[in-house]
Structure 1
Amino acid sequence: MDVRDDAAGHAATPSGADATPRAVSRRLRVITVIATFGGLLFGYDTGVINGALPYMTDDLGLTPVTEGMVTSSLLLGAALGAVAGGRLSDARGRRRTILALAVLFFAGALACALAPTTAVMVAARFALGLAVGGASVTVPVFLAEISPAERRGALVTRNELMIVSGQLLAFSTNAFIGHVGGEADGVWRWMLVVATLPAVVLWFGMLVMPESPRWLAARGRLDDALAVLRQVRSRQRAAAELAEVATLAADDERERLGGWRDMRAVPWLRRLMFVGFGIAIVQQITGVNTIMYYGTRILTDAGFTSDAALTANIANGVISVLATFVGIWLLGRVDRRPMLMTGLAGTTSALALIGVFSLVLPAGEIRAFAVLAMTVAFLAFQQGAISPVTWLMLSEVFPMRMRGFGMGVAAVVLWLTNFVIGLVFPSLVAGIDISNTFFLFVVAGLLSLVFVRRHAPETRGRTLEVLEAELRARYS
């Protein structure tokens, strides 16, 4: 079932499939909304530090080094959480893993809000990072495995939409609480505790969601897999798709695909992991999370007052959400690889201009709004092209039996890259100033373009099973 979009952008229906009943489409939408609350928590917990950090710095007495530790401890936890979450989801199931992550999101957010010292805050942010990393892997895989081929791009990138919506919610909440609370002690604690609410929704929602049909098939539970497929496909298509999935599951079982040993011993898997690692690094070395974590600080340095920077930073959140809507629309009409390259060209150009404006314009209103305009342009390309394609491709390219593990390992690379950037960014700005720091990201962007052009595969328009066969042949 090689499903490809036609020139007009309308997805073709797989051979032999009948029309999808309305109740089936509605069930698929509900599953997507509930699961992507994991993405909302991912976005809120990574974005909230942007506005909370200035208040936290005063209350906890942070230095540039401890400021970087508070920010990046979540990222280090996310690296560990990504690989642990991937292994857990392969072993215990996608649904059970998301339920466990909801509990960890709640406990981590509460611990951050109540942290009395820097050390406790770093530990709590690390624990919260375990949940963020686990969600970054498990939710896209769950959505990819439950989605029909022709809707996979749109449904998986709903998670990216929820991530940026979570960041916008964090920016807006920070601005509201900052204006209402003013300079009151502990105002940042209210910013952090809000994240407990979507964690509760995620846990209760996933209690009534089904397991991934492909995970069930990989465990030999074909009757259960068929029952789930009938919830989200027409009956005729569910039976046809199960036959295809069962055949591939048997092939993977014969090859015993599933972990580190396979990655080292099977040449095509080694090459595929190299590609996965590269895509993950490319997404981070654009410098996106310097904007997400330190956007308020960047705007303050450019010439905004603290309150004005909090408010202006909402523009970054708004453009991220709007751009993600555009990205979802484009994914059904444009191939993944050209879309990724266009996004990289746009972000690299925007960062170059941020560096130039910071260097040549005097501090004040003109420089402040010029930098804000470029951060908005940067995020339009990042969230409209690079981020949706990255998480979608990582959820698609790995074999079924080790999909959670493979994406988990790639996500470790992504989060470790994120960790290093988050840790050193304040020190880089203090040491070589913001202009030269952004010029470093420009160089990284140019190298990323070369990598994507040479190595990234095209994944659009295939079922996961057809795509696995193509990649196996390509990299063998």
Structure 2
Amino acid sequence: MASSSAPAHTSDTPSNLPPDTPGPHVSRLRLITVVATFGGLLFGYDTGVINGALEPMTEQLGLTSTTEGIVVSILIFGAAIGALLGGRLSDSFGRRHNIIWLAGLFIVGTIGCSLSPSWEVLTVFRFILGLAVGGASTTVPVYLAEVSPYERRGSLVTRNEVMIVLGQFLAFIINAIIFQIWGGEEHVWRWMLVVAVLPAFALLFGMLRMPESPRWLSGRGRDDEAREVLHQVRSPERADAEMDEVHALIEEEQEAQTGGWSDLAVPWVRRLIFIGIGLGIVQQVTGINSIMYYGTQLLQDAGFSAEAAIIANTLNGLASLLGITVGILLINKIDRRRMLLGGYGLIIFFHLAVGLAGNFLPENDFKPYAILVLVALFVFFMQGTLGPLVWLMLAEIFPLKIRSFAMGTCVFVLWITNALVAFAFPQVVSALGIGPTFFIFAGIGVLSTIFIYFFVPETRGKTLEQFEAEMSA
């Protein structure tokens, strides 16, 4: 079943909505998706570029091991704060306006980083970039979920994850190309960083011509504007029917007075936030971002030379991109829970395989290539399952009134987990070696699988409003 088709009819399929027939609105929705996901591209590039830029940056700015850790990690902590604030700001001022402001932060942060005369100034602008990255990680999936018809929501929301991994892959490729051409120049790292200003301007000018989320507009009592937006991205019959459903649900939510921390007193809302936080944690404890941040260093530890490692690391970026592409093709055909559980089973298998290779393969020319292939396979299956599914489910499971608040809270925890794993990874590899480090990941994966099995609900084939009604009942 293609992602553009409605799912087969089941008891979970919303029978009260007419089908979203083909028309000019499909092209408009596609354009909105492309423009908004430049935020994901910037997310990926700015988190991945440090992988190759760190060594020449260290040489020119005289970084110590402590200041190097600060420069790398400050973006992650900034992203955690940006995720927390981004949800509230998009609730107050709108998803579209928030993305426009984030594009401005990306531009300021990128130019500031590339021109930084010292590590202190670089740290300030890396923090600004982190705010933009975190805000984008919260706002863009919600915006896409709210403009998408439920039949295509899975494939459209996860396009943002495609752009994230594409951004990381491009960062690895551009780093390798720039290093090969200008590797001897002391300012080479500045060119690696400044490339990101191009998609930042594309995001800024593109979003100026995009519509606001119809669900956000309706929630602010601007029903005429919401209906107009829905007519841009739906067939006429579907737009009117969907508008009536959204409006009815918003009235119910206003009566329930949902919208913030007070909602934690409501058991079903508290359960959803607990599930969202858990999903963010189980995604990050796979160690995927340890590979994205430290892949080059890991491959050097495996036995590659420094120059060979920066080139070999592009295989991890390619595996990530191919994985997310396969995931997009499957995400509307397989139930979310089944895909999460099957994906984590494969992730644990390759954690164990990397651990066994690191511990028991003899030290020869074959070993680093074996570890490279196994790590790339782990990246492929991770990005083909948990990578897109977690972001999609975070955009699906929360009621409208607290959607951005809850998304911001969960993504804040996701980024803090990301930071903790990123801090621990190089130290654990240095102290224990590659093998035991991946055995630890496998053990954590077993616990994560238990959490998914017992707590995570199914959301496939349901509108955002229908899922909310089921959970509240």
Using structure 2 for the length normalisation, give the TM-score: 0.96
Alpha-carbon contact 2:87-2:407 (below 8 Å) kept: yes
Which whole-Å deviations, capped at 9, do the CAs of 1:218-261 have from their partners, x for residues lacking one?
A: 11111110000000001111010001000111111111211112
- 2:209 maps to 208
How far apart are the structure 2 equivalents of 1:269 and 1:351?
34
How far apart are the structure 2 equivalents of 1:110 and 1:435?
40
What is the CA distance between 1:472 and its match in structure 2? 1.6
How far apart are the structure 2 equivalents of 1:352 and 1:115?
42
How far apart are the structure 2 equivalents of 1:98 and 1:67?
30
Alpha-carbon contact 2:14-2:462 (below 8 Å) kept: no
Number of aligned residue pairs:
468
Where does the alignment leave 5 or more consecutive residues of structure 2 unmatched? Answer: none
Alpha-carbon contact 2:6-2:19 (below 8 Å) kept: no
What is the CA distance between 1:15 and its match in structure 2? 4.1
Alpha-carbon contact 1:40-1:165 (below 8 Å) kept: yes
How far apart are the structure 2 equivalents of 1:14 and 1:50?
49
Alpha-carbon contact 1:290-1:425 (below 8 Å) kept: yes
After superposition, the Cα gap between the structure-2 partners of 1:422 and 1:381, relative to the gap in structure 1 and judged at 3 Å, is: same
Q: Which amino acid aligns with 1:107?
A: V
Alpha-carbon contact 1:65-1:427 (below 8 Å) kept: no
Alpha-carbon contact 1:69-1:122 (below 8 Å) kept: yes
What is the CA distance between 1:436 and its match in structure 2? 2.1
- 2:139 maps to 138
How far apart are the structure 1 equivalents of 2:370 and 2:71?
29
After superposition, the Cα gap between the structure-2 partners of 1:429 and 1:123, relative to the gap in structure 1 and judged at 3 Å, is: farther
What is the CA distance between 1:192 and its match in structure 2? 0.7
The 5-angstrom pairing of residues 6-405 of structure 1 reads 6=8, 15-263=16-264, 265-405=265-405
Q: Which amino acid aligns with 1:46?
A: T
What is the CA distance between 1:16 and its match in structure 2? 4.9
How far apart are the structure 1 equivalents of 2:409 and 2:453?
23
- 1:443 maps to 443
Alpha-carbon contact 1:108-1:124 (below 8 Å) kept: yes
Alpha-carbon contact 1:304-1:364 (below 8 Å) kept: no
What is the CA distance between 1:37 and its match in structure 2? 0.3
What is the CA distance between 1:186 and its match in structure 2? 2.0
Q: Which amino acid aligns with 1:26?
A: S
3-state secondary structure, aligned to 1:184? coil
How far apart are the structure 2 equivalents of 1:457 and 1:434?
35
How far apart are the structure 2 equivalents of 1:33 and 1:415?
25
How far apart are the structure 2 equivalents of 1:16 and 1:257?
26
What is the CA distance between 1:426 and its match in structure 2? 2.1
Alpha-carbon contact 2:14-2:466 (below 8 Å) kept: no
3-state secondary structure, aligned to 1:450? helix
How far apart are the structure 2 equivalents of 1:194 and 1:236?
44
What is the CA distance between 1:5 and its match in structure 2? 2.1
Alpha-carbon contact 1:181-1:187 (below 8 Å) kept: yes
Alpha-carbon contact 2:56-2:189 (below 8 Å) kept: yes
- Kindly report structure 1 stretches of 4+ aligned residues shifted beyond 6 Å: none
What is the CA distance between 1:13 and its match in structure 2? 8.3
Q: Which amino acid aligns with 2:185?
A: A
3-state secondary structure, aligned to 2:432? helix
Using structure 1 for the length normalisation, give the TM-score: 0.95
What is the CA distance between 1:438 and its match in structure 2? 2.1
Alpha-carbon contact 1:78-1:130 (below 8 Å) kept: yes
| Bigger mean CA offset, 464-473 vs 419-428 | 419-428
After superposition, the Cα gap between the structure-2 partners of 1:434 and 1:61, relative to the gap in structure 1 and judged at 3 Å, is: farther
What is the CA distance between 1:364 and its match in structure 2? 4.1
Alpha-carbon contact 1:49-1:293 (below 8 Å) kept: yes
Q: Which amino acid aligns with 1:404?
A: S
3-state secondary structure, aligned to 1:304? coil
Which whole-Å deviations, capped at 9, do the CAs of 1:290-340 have from their partners, x for residues lacking one?
A: 100000111111111222111111111112111111101111100011111
Alpha-carbon contact 1:13-1:150 (below 8 Å) kept: no
Alpha-carbon contact 1:302-1:364 (below 8 Å) kept: no
What is the CA distance between 1:12 and its match in structure 2? 7.5
Q: Which amino acid aligns with 1:261?
A: S
What is the CA distance between 1:355 and its match in structure 2? 2.0
What is the CA distance between 1:402 and its match in structure 2? 1.3
The 5-angstrom pairing of residues 453-472 of structure 1 reads 453-472=453-472
Query: Quick one: which of 1, 4, 7 aligns to 1:5?
Result: 7
How far apart are the structure 1 equivalents of 2:427 and 2:63?
13
How far apart are the structure 1 equivalents of 2:20 and 2:141?
25
3-state secondary structure, aligned to 1:149? coil
How far apart are the structure 1 equivalents of 2:137 and 2:337?
21
Which whole-Å deviations, capped at 9, do the CAs of 1:174-194 have from their partners, x for residues lacking one?
A: 000010012321211111111
Alpha-carbon contact 2:20-2:235 (below 8 Å) kept: yes
How far apart are the structure 1 equivalents of 2:19 and 2:104?
40
Alpha-carbon contact 1:398-1:468 (below 8 Å) kept: yes
How far apart are the structure 1 equivalents of 2:453 and 2:32?
35
How far apart are the structure 1 equivalents of 2:356 and 2:114?
38
How far apart are the structure 2 equivalents of 1:40 and 1:19?
29
Alpha-carbon contact 2:43-2:136 (below 8 Å) kept: yes
Alpha-carbon contact 2:23-2:235 (below 8 Å) kept: no
How far apart are the structure 2 equivalents of 1:22 and 1:242?
19
Which whole-Å deviations, capped at 9, do the CAs of 1:50-109 have from their partners, x for residues lacking one?
A: 111222232233344433322221110011000100000011100000000000011111
3-state secondary structure, aligned to 2:385? helix
Where does the alignment leave 5 or more consecutive residues of structure 1 unmatched? Answer: none
3-state secondary structure, aligned to 2:276? helix
After superposition, the Cα gap between the structure-2 partners of 1:100 and 1:19, relative to the gap in structure 1 and judged at 3 Å, is: closer
How far apart are the structure 2 equivalents of 1:271 and 1:420?
25
After superposition, the Cα gap between the structure-2 partners of 1:443 and 1:64, relative to the gap in structure 1 and judged at 3 Å, is: farther
After superposition, the Cα gap between the structure-2 partners of 1:396 and 1:50, relative to the gap in structure 1 and judged at 3 Å, is: same
How far apart are the structure 1 equivalents of 2:66 and 2:426?
8
What is the CA distance between 1:437 and its match in structure 2? 2.1
Which whole-Å deviations, capped at 9, do the CAs of 1:150-192 have from their partners, x for residues lacking one?
A: 0000000000111111011101100000100123212111111
3-state secondary structure, aligned to 2:158? helix
How far apart are the structure 2 equivalents of 1:232 and 1:4?
16
Q: Which amino acid aligns with 2:291?
A: I
How far apart are the structure 1 equivalents of 2:219 and 2:95?
12
3-state secondary structure, aligned to 1:462? coil
